[in-house]
Amino acid sequence: MAGHVVPELVTVVIPARDEERFLGPCLDSICAQDYPHLQIVVVDGGSTDRTRDIVATRMLRDPRVELVENPRHLIAVSLNLALAAARGSWLVRVDAHSTILPNYVSLAVDLLREGRWGGVGGRKDAHGGTPPGRAIAAVLASRFGVGNSLYHHGVVARSVDHVPFGAYATELVRRMGGWNESLVANEDFEFDYRLRAEGHVLLFDPRLVISWRCRESVRDLYRQYYRYGRAKATVAVLHPMSMRPRHVLPPGLVAYAAAAAGLAPLRPGVALAALAPYLLAVLTGTVITVGRMDGGKAHRWVAPAFVAMHVGWGIGFWRGVVDVVRAHAFPSRGAGRSGRARSRRNRARAQAGPSERVGH
């Protein structure tokens, strides 16, 4: 049985793991919202730093802040635990290394109250603190880097296929069964796809702005996008119709580059000519992106960041394909439960009242 929902209350959900550097400013921005009726649920995914201490200290000062423990670490599990703990009519997700404007929650709730939208979200504006980080932030705002992911660069409100850090009606999320816990990433995209498949419309509104701290090194960016690509292969199997051209271009690029590399020992000129279009595209994207940046040492990291994103995502996707093939070939070695059973488990957790939630 679902817990009691308070009509005017908004539950802000913050999945966190080892976020001692950024969680304080994140909580400051949420506690300073002009919407007064908040339940702020931080779900700790096994932090080894001072994340839990920061939350505990904040709880002493602000009774709106709560802490839930997630022993399984996965973000989807954290989101479902927060959903089980939620008492608000509305659910707003905020990343632990992000800050939001004072009117963020009130604007999101006003849009949801219109009754036209299954979920709403806005701009995810990246910021970096080091020269590579600033280059990565610029790349994340580039169409060449992220394609038609409007939440990185959109300026006009419109319906979309996905919103980052979405805001939803709590009961709707519970009816949908929450987030898919088999996914190590892409859980938000997969949830939005299921929401749209049920006939709900998602709104991107650029007035909703999340200032998000991006990765600070090209190596970390590569690992991040490798993880994204690897999880996308699982989503592609679950929902083949969810795939978009921007999802298949990086795997195609990796396959194409691998074929060109295979030619290199015998026909180096042909191999270089085959790679030339992508290299030219990287050069063009770099020149455009650098032209929009302030001066400094960040410029030299722009081209490597583009390549890290594209190649990391593409290689990760193919690794995910291997994972899927192995899981089907050797089902006894896989995660075990079927998608239907997992969905039932997610729905049961999502509908559990606060006294039933895991982690307390």
Which of these, 80, 78, 112, lies nearest to 10 by C-alpha position?
112
Closest CA to 87 of 33, 39, 36: 39
The CATH label, of 3.90.1280.10, 3.30.530.20, 3.40.50.720, 3.90.550.10, for the domain at 9-214 is 3.90.550.10
Confidence of residue 3 (pLDDT cuts 50, 70, 90): low
Residue-range domain boundaries for the chain: 9-214
The Cα 86–Cα 102 span in angstroms is 21
Distance CA 343, CA 276 (A): 46
**pLDDT tens column, 174-185:** 999 999 998 888
Task: Give the mean pLDDT of 38-62.
Answer: 96
Residue 168, SS3 per DSSP: strand
Residue type at position 302: V
Q: What is the pLDDT of residues 65-79, one digit of tens each?
A: 999 999 988 999 999
272-308 pLDDT per residue, tens: 898 999 999 999 999 999 998 886 789 999 999 999 9
Contact partners, residue 13, CB within 8 Å, separation at least 6? 41, 43, 79, 82, 83, 86, 91, 92, 93, 94
Predicted TM-score of the model (pTM): 0.84
Segment among 44-48, 296-300, 342-346 with least mean pLDDT? 342-346
- Taking the C-alpha atoms of residue 52 and residue 327, their distance in angstroms, rounded to an integer, is 36
Instruction: Average the pLDDT over 193-221 and give the result.
Output: 95
What is the arithmetic mean of pLDDT over 93-109? 96
